[in-house]
Structure 1
């Protein structure tokens, strides 16, 4: 809801962003470090948060949700930051205040706030502007306030930012939401601790084991976000439904490789042989073949039996069995 002519302040490098919005959309500067992009479509509004540099590097210069929004006929409001600001800016606060006071969110049957990581923090924090909304978060931060999260040692340079009182402590800001979905990887301790601070009967925790530190990107790469967002907006997303969708990880080589690397540090050759063998059977990946053969060689050295029916995998090029260390 721009308060002035938005195009008058848009510099040349942002032209790709303005061009994608068409005649009905608008782009507004929110101070020197943030932008707001709005694309009207249907009666569901998706509010998301982006960083400018990665956005401009995309071929289409579109937010990650653009395809989903077009497919679903959703309107989108995207807040874009120049750098890692955590969206802690009075200009952004005032913008959301104006939207609320002007009844902007009241024009929609459904409002969904979404984000991952730092952007998940922002999605949660600003969801308070639209009571009754749905909030979908991947590995969100609760705050960087050391009084609330003294165990958080990442982003030390950002601790000088003020995380209150306006739109501050994210777990409190989602209290007015109708539903809150928090996807996290229990194997990432710091992320899991942040996620545990989001509590209440309207909060649904969804566990993506070994999804890694960039969980939102992993879900996007697996092609799961369309389904998850649709079910979240409808209120039908449950831990059981998420678990079924998360089975797609068994076909995702990045996820499989992440688990393989974790098994490397555990020094459990029998377990590594089981997992690497299953991964090799499914994908034929060279990394799985190498680790399978290394694990089987180690079991042989230790005089232990390999998993039932598991034998060394041949070199895919020559049919020669690879020995450990080759």
Structure 2
């Protein structure tokens, strides 16, 4: 029986260029013994070069549906599928790279050899660095591109600006979801300790995630492993890659490529011959691949096709003319309009556009009378505005041409959105009262971007009124979905929301026994028989509290864990919290937040890592309060402390808070410099 692969490399390709042979050879030279390529699913089948490599047993190919509306998301979509391949076997390692990224191993001959020296490691995050040639060359040369790549750009600062990236080698069989940069979600099996290292073999900073790593210089060390991204081997090579992107409206604009040109010809590059270390083995692998007759023929055809395309593109394509002119010193022209794009009026939609100045006309010609604008009796203005607006991002995922399975159910006062991403983890979110009046076409469910970014499946309840989900139609629909097993098929379900949404996350927890709940500043009920002291939320108190799921304090008994975040100084919320009992409940204090604990946590820039720790089941009281220390630099927190000190007669203490706050801010500035 064949042994499982020791090293699996996955990637997404719009279309393989002739340099793809070198890309494959480079990674085979470093011990990658399985390469899996995700390509656009087209009627024509895979491009000839990719098909030849597949028939030769060099690569594997999986076509995936291509969504033109989400062209920029194709790499992310491929990464999610890559995680499923990585999780299918328990032996070996998995890595996801883009087509212009190359693995570098400064001290080892193979990836498996490196991982053997790091005994017991589960994940190894390698920094991505930009590599260039010494000088910007214009003409494209078909074939290999790495021979002249011997300089790299300085690292982006560790200031939280988001300029740093990683690619992570993962132990196979542990994660079922990933982003291009790193795995996300829980591991498949119990581990006494998750060992996640940086490129130098030291532990990655915690809490693990992009926000933490962007601010920590140690996360970008690379003594053992690095990823070399080569975005501009030559100017025409860059343009050629852009030309293969389909459909045409998804291709890059001049403003997209100009920063890469600027980076390539910057004068602050550092010599780095890291790619030369594998040059001999890479050349041997290239020779081996081109000794395969079908691969050699497809390679020659691809080289000829590139030369012919360059001849045509240079003369006709506006992007090529713009970028080549920019390289020669001409100013960058504005991006051309996307073909087929609708013209958008500059005047507000609720006001008529300003009339253009009339042009002079011959005196003999009388101006034609203006025709009245006819209003269609069955198409109200609101519908017309929606019909001309771009669709929301979630719709692009599940519409008939989308890349996800899912559903959207519109009820009278609510809507239910289900997007299937991860087969293991489902995040259920409930809207709060702040956005119930949002009727825009682009409205997103609560926490949509975070959930999508993590690759988790999402079930969102979208509210159109402040009813605390006291609606017979909604409750019946949720019960029907529960009976169908919609929630039970996931290994982990997390319910989350704030205020009204926090109440719902707890109140409907009984539908999903064993779930995890995250509730910010929730109410337990608005039933006046149970909480006669509650005088807020008049519209909610008027609803029917005899319906099922009306007392959240009772409904959370079957949950695995319930995290409740609240301000202990805010009595109206605290009285609800006092109704909660159970060993599964963790109460987390968020001082001076008032009823707006989620907003407070978000402004302290910890809402995403906190949510991630809830999903990963790594959140404890200790880790929460370590995160909460970031609030010390929040002006909201300083002002609240001062006001409370003054109210309690501690004027001298209040006078000391401002200077202490400034010291914290200055210390943080120095740490981030």
The structure 2 residue matched to 1:54, chosen from 435, 439, 451, is: 435
1:135 aligns to 2:547 (yes or no): no
Q: d(CA) in 1 for partners of 2:439 and 2:610?
A: 26
Q: Is the partner of 1:259 in helix, strand or coil?
A: helix
Partner of 1:37: 417
Aligned residue number for residue 627 of structure 2:
245
State the shift of 1:58 in Å: 9.0
Residue of structure 2 equivalent to 1:166: 548
Question: Which whole-Å CA distance do the structure 2 matches of 1:100 and 1:148 have between them?
Answer: 28
User: Is 1:199 aligned to 2:581, yes or no?
Assistant: yes
Q: If the length of structure 2 is used for normalisation, what is the TM-score?
A: 0.38
Tell me the secondary structure at the aligned position of residue 107 of structure 1.
coil
Q: Residue 176 of structure 1 aligns to a residue in which SS?
A: coil
Per-residue CA shift, 1:201-250, capped at 9, x if unaligned?
11111111112221112212322222222222233211111111111110
3-state SS in 2 of match to 1:149? coil
Q: Give, in whole Å, the separation in 2 of the partners of 1:20 and 1:169.
A: 37
- Please list every run of 5 or more consecutive structure 1 residues that lacks an aligned counterpart in the other structure: 1-10, 285-326
Provide closer, same or farther for how the CA distance between residues 144 and 282 of structure 1 changes in structure 2, counting only shifts above 3 A. Answer: same
Question: In structure 2, what is the equivalent of residue 73 of structure 1?
Answer: 455
Q: Summarize the Cα distance change of 1:59–1:52 in structure 2 as closer, same or farther, 3 Å threshold.
A: farther
**Deviations 1:138-167 (CA, angstroms, capped at 9, x unpaired):** 111000111211221112343221223411
- Residue 268 of structure 1 and its aligned partner are, at CA, apart by 2.1
Structure 2 contact 467–539 (Cα < 8 Å) conserved: no
**Shift of residue 195 of structure 1?**
1.3
Q: Contact 1:125 / 1:174 at 8 angstroms: preserved in 2?
A: yes
Alignment partner of 2:593 out of 204, 211, 222: 211
> Whole-Å Cα distance in 2 between the matches of residues 99 and 63 of structure 1?
19
Q: Distance in 1 between matches of 2:625 and 2:572?
A: 22
- Does residue 16 (structure 1) correspond to residue 397 (structure 2)? The answer is no
Determine if contact 1:17/1:61 at 8 Å carries over to the other structure: no
- Secondary structure at the counterpart of residue 557 of structure 2: helix
Q: Give the secondary structure class of the aligned counterpart of 1:105.
A: coil
Task: For residue 100 of structure 1, give the secondary structure of its aligned residue in structure 2.
Answer: helix
Instruction: Report the equivalent of 1:321.
Output: none
SS at match of 1:164: coil
SS for the counterpart of 1:85 is coil
The equivalent of 2:487 in structure 1 is 105
* Deviation for aligned residue 1:67: 2.6
Name the CA distance, whole Å, in 2 between partners of 1:60 and 1:279: 39
Which segment is superposed worse, 90-99 or 52-61?
Answer: 52-61
> What CA distance in whole angstroms lies between the structure 1 residues aligned with 2:662 and 2:442?
35
Q: How many angstroms apart in 1 are the aligned matches of 2:531 and 2:570?
A: 15
Q: Is the 8 A contact 1:118 1:140 kept in 2?
A: yes
- SS state of the match for residue 591, structure 2? coil
In structure 2, stretches of 5+ residues that fail to align are: 1-381, 667-673
Q: Name the one with the larger helix percent.
A: 1
**Partner residue, 1:114:** 496
Which secondary structure state, in structure 2, belongs to the residue aligned with residue 142 of structure 1? coil
Task: Say whether the 8 Å CA contact 2:641–2:654 is kept in structure 1.
Answer: no
Deviation at 1:71, TM superposition (A): 2.7
What is residue 292 of structure 1 aligned with on the other side?
Answer: none
Match of 1:184 among 566, 588, 592: 566
Task: Note if contact 2:429-2:446 (Cα within 8 Å) is conserved in structure 1.
Answer: no
The 3-state SS of whatever aligns with 2:431 is strand
Q: Find out whether 1:263 has 2:639 as its counterpart.
A: no
Contact 1:18 1:27 in 2 (8 A): no
Contact 1:21 1:38 in 2 (8 A): no
Is this contact kept in 1: 2:430–2:496, CA < 8 A?
yes
Please state how far the C-alpha of 1:40 moved relative to its aligned partner. Answer: 1.2
User: What CA distance in whole angstroms lies between the structure 2 residues aligned with 1:176 and 1:53?
Assistant: 29
Equivalent pair of 1:18/1:26 in contact (CA under 8 Å): no
Larger Rg: 2
Deviations 1:68-120 (A, max 9, x none): 21232111111111121111101110111011100111221100000111110
Pair 197,53 (structure 1): closer, same or farther in 2 beyond 3 Å: closer
Instruction: Quickly say closer, same or farther: Cα 1:149–1:252, change in 2 above 3 A.
Output: same
State the alpha-carbon separation in 1 of the partners of residues 539 and 526 from structure 2: 10
- Post-superposition CA distance 1:156-202 (Å, at most 9, x none): 34322122341110011111111111111100011111112121011
Q: Which whole-Å CA distance do the structure 2 matches of 1:212 and 1:139 have between them? A: 9
Cα distance change on mapping 1:51 and 1:208 into 2, 3 Å: closer
Specify whether residues 255 and 201 from structure 1 end up closer, same or farther in structure 2 by C-alpha distance, changes over 3 A only: same
Normalization by structure 1: what TM-score? 0.77
Deviations 1:269-315, CA, capped at 9 Å, x for gaps: 1110111221233448xxxxxxxxxxxxxxxxxxxxxxxxxxxxxxx
The alpha-carbon distance between structure 1 residues 163 and 52, as it changes in their structure 2 partners (threshold 3 A), is closer
- Checking the alignment, whether the CA contact within 8 Å between 2:433 and 2:500 is kept in structure 1 is no
